[in-house]
Each structure stands twice: as C-alpha cells, then as structure tokens.
Amino acid sequence: MSEKKLKITQVRSIIGGTKKQKATIQALGLGRPNYSVERKDNPCTRGQIRVVQHLVKVEEV
C-alpha cells in the first residue's frame, strides 16, 4: 500500500514575502527557486502549500 506523494517545486523567490510564508517555505524544505522536494499528500502538507501557492508548483507523483 503506497501513499500518494506530492512533488513541490519552488518557482518564485521568497524575497518580499511575509514571515509566515518564509517559515512555510523553510518547513517544506525549500529555499531557492527551482528546488524540489517530495512530501506525503496529507492535510498538513496541503495547508502549507495553500499558504505559499503563488510561489510553488505542485505535481502528484
């Protein structure tokens, strides 16, 4: 039984973002544009993505 995963890629810089957005990017494991991480698809991750949805691109893996 495999869990769904999300590939999250930062596409825009965090410069000019709020403290909450900067903390969320860091919590997701991102930091620079074009960095990607894979995370489990769960409500917690979806909530983090919603905070920075204008800075990231999300794909199901």
Q: Where are the domains of the chain?
A: 5-60
How far apart are alpha carbons 26 and 45 in whole angstroms? 13
Indicate the CATH number for domain 5-60.
3.30.1390.20
DSSP string for the chain: -PPPEEEEEE-S--TT--HHHHHHHHHHT--STT-EEEEE-SHHHHHHHHHTTTTEEEEE-
Report residue 1's pLDDT band, with 50, 70 and 90 as the boundaries: low
- Across the chain, what does the average pLDDT equal? 95
Q: Which two tokens stand for residue 10?
A: 């930062």
pTM of the predicted model as reported, rounded to 2 decimal places = 0.91
C-alpha distance from residue 15 to each of 5, 25, 26, 55 (Å) = 28, 11, 13, 11
Q: Above 80 in pLDDT, residue 2?
A: no
